[in-house]
Amino acid sequence: NITEDFAVRQLYDCNWIVVNCSSPGNYFHVLRRQILLPFRKPLIIFTPKSLLRHPEARASFDEMLPGTHFQRLIPEGGSAVERPEEVKRLIFCTGKVYYELTKERKNRGMEGSVAIARIEQLSPFPFDQVKAESERFSNADLVWCQEEHKNQGYYDYVKPRIRTTIQRAKPVWYAGREPAAAPATGNKNTHLMELRRFLDTAFDLDAFKDQE
């Protein structure tokens, strides 16, 4: 399998492996893969403890049976895949923010117009799977969404890699908090206001029209 050979070769060539698993099944698989690798590389897992008690962060045992494996990227699997040509926006994200995005998408009734893909392995970067997902929703604009402030999350890392993957055919827009010196506001109301603001940006299909 060419895809599996590429994934293993990437692991062999990199200095370390960085993941942010959003699914218990994927968390299981990345630990299992780490044990079974025929070589030693550091594994950094950014998955937060809050997902241990998140009601949506669950997996079927079917995802951990023989024949299943770690997913470097979890593609959109909802109603958006039925008519991919009608999808207006493809949101890439990683980790816990995925659950905020799917909740907001459902509340807005935008399951058919917005696709959400989870990049579970950040390093080495899943270039092949990002390319496949971008090509599947070829009419969609591309957005990276994160909870972290712009200067503290993954945006500056993933943006050039996604752009390289798509041969710079489209911009990769940003939906997230503005740059800040502190990792958190320290004020719950301000925190919720920032969350609302970046979710509005993520699902406003005209948010980036004047920046093109």
The torsion of the CA quartet 205, 119, 198, 52, rounded to 10 degrees, works out to 130
- The pLDDT assigned to 209 comes to 85
Which portions of the chain are predicted below pLDDT 70? 1-2, 212
| pLDDT attached to residue 118 | 98
pLDDT of residue 1: 67
> What residues contact 61, with CB distance under 8 A and at least 6 apart?
none
pLDDT score of 207: 87
Q: Give the integer Cα–Cα distance in Å for 147 and 100.
A: 10
Could you please report the per-residue DSSP string of 80-91? GGTSGGG--EEE
pLDDT of residue 187: 76
Pseudo-torsion of CA 30, 35, 36, 41, nearest 10°? Answer: 80
pLDDT value, residue 198: 92
